[in-house]
Structure 1
Amino acid sequence: MKRFIKRTLLGLFGGALIIGSLGACSHRGQGWQSGAEASPESRARMVEKVGAKLDLDAAQKQKLTVLADKLQTQRAALRGAQDPRATVQGLFAGNKLDQAGASKLITEKAAALQAGSPEVIAAAADFFDNLRPEQQQKVREFMQRGSRWGHRG
């Protein structure tokens, strides 16, 4: 049982590192931005850009705006009040990994993810379910490409 707990914690810690890395890197370019960087204007530009690519009507744009707001709130909750990079670096600051700190970090991130996920899922479903079939297909194609709309380079 003890081995199972160690593996689970190691897996969760690895997942938290990946999420933290993605969050730290996602500020580049014209995508979703974090905390203070994400202005209402930048989210509005994103909604307009995606709206133009998908040919959204006003109601669909409103649902996309709600989804963008929910994602931003969830991202801020996952990011927390402190710099995630500094938090992870702090775990490795001593001669040994701060296991208690790592466990606490994982617990906090998992709780934040679990608390906000139902709202994000509901907003995503509301947006996607109200798209026309050809719009849904464009979203699927975008997801298969794995790139951002309007991203250059």
Structure 2
Amino acid sequence: MKRWIKRTLIGVFGASVLFGGLAACSHRPYHGAGWQTMSEEDAARMKARIVEKVAGKLDLDEAQKARLGVLADALREQRKALVAGGNPREQVQALVAGPTFDRAGAKSLLDAKTAALQGGSPAVIAAFGDFYDGLRPEQQARLREFMSRGRHGWRG
């Protein structure tokens, strides 16, 4: 296969995954108001609930809870960076609003989201690494088990 065809296919696949993910995730409301409008106070309450839920499931001590809190903060900052340009659904809809697909706009959006991911990823990786490495072996095994269950692994 020619090199430019491979690059084009990889680019189209990457863009479709990005846009599909953004469109799929952008519809989930947070108590009716939408995640875009979640206040810092609401985010802090949600973070506390999540940390307590995970702490209960994994039997975390205070130091482990603190590392989990740092991870939650890093993930929130990464999410803020990803949605900084506005509503992802509206951004994707704007690409197909005219008679032709806005290729330059799609490339610009993809570049912005890629830059946001690359910029925040080291902090998320470090925070997750610190959290995971601070778990006891049985806690690590339980976390892997929850993760293998998929989206609903934390229930029950």
TM-score (norm 1): 0.87
Moved more, 51-60 or 78-87: 78-87
Per-residue deviation at 1:53?
Answer: 0.7
Q: Paired residue for 2:90, among 81, 86, 92? A: 86
Matched residue, 2:65: 61
Q: What's the offset of the Cα at 1:148?
A: 3.5
**Alpha-carbon distance between aligned partners in 2 of 1:123 and 1:104, rounded to the nearest angstrom:** 29
Match of 1:40 in 2: 44
1:140 aligns with 2:144: yes
Structure 2 CA distance for partners of 1:97 and 1:114, relative to 1, 3 Å: same
Task: Name the CA distance, whole Å, in 1 between partners of 2:97 and 2:62.
Answer: 51
Hey, what does 1:50 align to over in structure 2? 54
Tell me, yes or no, if structure 1 residue 130 matches structure 2 residue 134.
yes
Q: Does 1:23 find its partner at 2:25?
A: yes
Structure 2 residue 138 is matched with structure 1 residue 121: no
Instruction: Report the identity percentage.
Output: 42
Q: Distance in 1 between matches of 2:139 and 2:20?
A: 31
Q: In 2, Cα distance between the equivalents of 1:73 and 1:57?
A: 25
Distance in 1 of aligned mates of 2:8 and 2:84: 25
What's the counterpart of residue 13 of structure 1?
Answer: 15
1:71 and 2:72 equivalent?
A: no
Q: Cα RMSD between the aligned structures?
A: 2.2
| Structure 1 unmatched runs, 5+ | none
Kept in 1, the 8 Å contact 2:58–2:139? The answer is: yes
The one-letter amino acid of 1:83's match is N
**Counterparts of 2:146 and 2:23, CA distance in 1:** 23
Alignment match, 1:97? 101
TM (norm. structure 2) is 0.85
For 1:63 and 1:106, how far apart are their aligned partners in 2?
31
> By how many angstroms is 1:27 displaced?
4.5
Deviation at 1:11, TM superposition (A): 1.9
Q: Number of matched residues?
A: 149
Segments of structure 2 that go 5 or more residues without pairing to the other structure are none
Q: Which moved more, 1:112-121 or 1:38-47?
A: 38-47
Contact kept? 2:26, 2:87, Cα under 8 Å? no
The 8 Å contact of residues 60 and 131 in structure 1, kept in 2 or not, is answered as yes
